[in-house]
Amino acid sequence: MNISLILAAVALVPQPAKLVETGGTTKNAEIRYVTDAAVPAEGYRLKVAADGITVTSSDAAGRYYAGVTLAQLKDGETWPCVEIEDAPAYRWRGAHLDECRHFFGKETVKQMLDLMAQHKLNRFHWHLTEDQGWRLDIPGYPELVKYGAVRSASVRHGQRATKGSKEDADKLNGVKYGPYFYTEADIREIVAYAAERHIVIVPEIELPGHVFAALAAYPEFACVPANMASREPRLVWGIEKDVLCLGNDKAIKFMEDVLDYVCRLFPGDVVHIGGDECPQVRWKDCPKCQARIKAEGLKDEHGLQPWITRHFVKFLEARGKRALGWDEYLLGDVPKSAIGMSWRTRRQGAGHALVSGAQAAVRGHDVVMTPNKFCYLDYGQCLPNDPFQYIGGKLPLEMCYSFDPCADVPAEARKHILGGQCNNWSEYTWNEYDLAWKMWPRTCALAEVFWLGDAKPGFADFKKRMATHRGRLIAQGINCAPLE
């Protein structure tokens, strides 16, 4: 039977794996909860009938997701009678937020967590450190937020500035930005808020590149401290050449202290350690880094990144966590326990060799698929008269829906594909309205991809349900973009 046709008015997003309308409606809101170990993790069975509602699950997440489905099914005071059997195709269903280029704050993060839960997304990847801002207060390192959480200017609306602060100075707005950062109390509040919604927070501390804001606070951790003379984060976007000095034991101890604290603050099982876009030009000319290369028997500066990755993968393992990093961090000899986050489908940028998600999975690494071509929501939606600015690239709604996390992965390696994630980089995303416009409805499409995998019913079907579902988002005050 054609399920989507029958339930067109019901409009669930993501669509459940198996759904049958049994006829009629009920106003009986009495819910019986049943535990059955045979129901898959995060899955549930839901029966809505004249004599009430029955929810069967093996875990609390499944019970919670049955509630999410019930909320979408509810039409006024009634529910349609249905039988649903549902479970996710992928266990990692993520959304990411860059709070460094622009800062959104606690209320926007909570609203994002609410919306993620409504779409059965279960991983919030929180990008907390960058060249342009350090957003986490760390005990023992007060200078981090003093210098790293505030900048004297940002790139102006409509401008693109990516070179160096001097070359692009005329593109800056001259408006002080910050200080913006999270305290320990803020983090504990948000971690608890996420946990209530069955969302695990994956904090990201970037290393060894994308650390300019930390170097502004502690110039001695850079290869060339004089380059941090302004004592403020990088003002323009783009890739920064000044990175962590890996020849300096104190710089490494600093990162250990940060990660040790992060491991204690965030209860989740995974910590993201960045690893992307790290130019090696400073290491090449730094006597300390060169001494490290010699002492560790590395071939040249290219050996330093795998060396520090190995160090922190083990460091995190000793604290009960698994390391996650952008695909470049899998270059060289890195333990198989390291999880890759695949962001590129082709080689881009000077010196950044590519380990694709498929290659990483074949090598035996678990992988989260988040290729920019399908998952970067700062790419253009291709809407007529779109008022917002994008970083570049094109990613219309249908393209998001067409994403298959296992597309290029050989069958025998597919067990390593944990799932996927949409990424919200914020160079050109200034505030919560701008963010919402870029996230919705494209996140709905990706949420359905991550929940249903190959069983997704097709874009036309999705779009039909979205016409109703978009109304739910608008009713919550979300600045959801149109469907076309």
Question: Shortest approach of Zn ion to residue 283 CB, angstroms?
Answer: 6
CA end-to-end span of the chain: 29
Indicate the residue among 153 and 222 with the shorter CB distance to Zn ion. Answer: 222
Question: Shortest approach of Zn ion to residue 246 CB, angstroms?
Answer: 6
Phi, psi of 252 (to 5 degrees): -70, -40
Indicate the residue among 201 and 246 with the shorter CB distance to Zn ion. Answer: 246
Nearest to 87 by CA among 114, 122, 55, 62: 62
Indicate the residue among 161 and 245 with the shorter CB distance to Zn ion. Answer: 245
The CA–CA distances, whole Å, from 387 to 410, 429, 437, 480 equal: 41, 12, 10, 13
Question: Shortest approach of Zn ion to residue 353 CB, angstroms?
Answer: 21
Task: Compute how many other C-beta atoms are within 10 angstroms of the C-beta atom of residue 400.
Answer: 25
For Zn ion, the binding residues (CB under 5 A) are 223, 245, 247, 286, 288-289
Indicate the residue among 247 and 325 with the shorter CB distance to Zn ion. Answer: 247
Burial of 13 (0-12, 13-18, 19+ CB in 10 A): buried
Question: Shortest approach of Zn ion to residue 144 CB, angstroms?
Answer: 20
Report DSSP letters for 108-128, one per residue. HHHHHHHHHHHTT--EEEEE-
Nearest to 236 by CA among 308, 137, 130: 130
Question: Shortest approach of Zn ion to residue 298 CB, angstroms?
Answer: 13
Indicate the residue among 246 and 360 with the shorter CB distance to Zn ion. Answer: 246
Question: Shortest approach of Zn ion to residue 204 CB, angstroms?
Answer: 23
Question: Shortest approach of Zn ion to residue 250 CB, angstroms?
Answer: 12
Indicate the residue among 73 and 252 with the shorter CB distance to Zn ion. Answer: 252
Indicate the residue among 284 and 472 with the shorter CB distance to Zn ion. Answer: 284
Indicate the residue among 120 and 282 with the shorter CB distance to Zn ion. Answer: 282
Q: What's the distance, CA 151 to chain centroid?
A: 24
Q: Which residues pair with 219 in a beta bridge?
A: none
Question: Shortest approach of Zn ion to residue 223 CB, angstroms?
Answer: 3
Contacts of 479 (CB under 8 A, 6+ apart): 432, 433, 436, 437, 440
Length of the chain: 484
Please give the sequence-ordered ranges of beta strands (E in DSSP) within 313-397, or none if there are none: 322-326, 339-342, 367-369
Question: Shortest approach of Zn ion to residue 208 CB, angstroms?
Answer: 10
Indicate the residue among 75 and 256 with the shorter CB distance to Zn ion. Answer: 256
Question: Shortest approach of Zn ion to residue 152 CB, angstroms?
Answer: 27
Q: Which residues pair with 339 in a beta bridge?
A: 324
Nearest to 108 by CA among 484, 466, 453, 430: 430
Contacts of 44 (CB under 8 A, 6+ apart): 55, 56, 57, 62, 63, 65, 66, 69, 84, 86, 87
Please give the sequence-ordered ranges of beta strands (E in DSSP) within 221-349, or none if there are none: 270-274, 322-326, 339-342
Residue bearing tokens 């198996």: 18
Question: Shortest approach of Zn ion to residue 221 CB, angstroms?
Answer: 9
Report DSSP letters for 209-235, one per residue. SS-HHHHHH-GGGBSSGGGGTT-S---
Q: Reading across the β-sheet that carries 44-49, which strands appear in turn?
A: 18-26, 79-86, 44-49, 52-57, 31-35
Indicate the residue among 206 and 378 with the shorter CB distance to Zn ion. Answer: 206
C-beta separation of 233 from 212 below 8 A: yes
Indicate the residue among 281 and 383 with the shorter CB distance to Zn ion. Answer: 281
Is the previous residue joined to 142 through a cis bond, with omega within 30 degrees of 0? no
Task: Compute how many other C-beta atoms are within 10 angstroms of the C-beta atom of residue 157.
Answer: 9
Question: Shortest approach of Zn ion to residue 281 CB, angstroms?
Answer: 11
Indicate the residue among 191 and 223 with the shorter CB distance to Zn ion. Answer: 223
Alpha carbons 10 and 153: distance in angstroms, whole number: 48
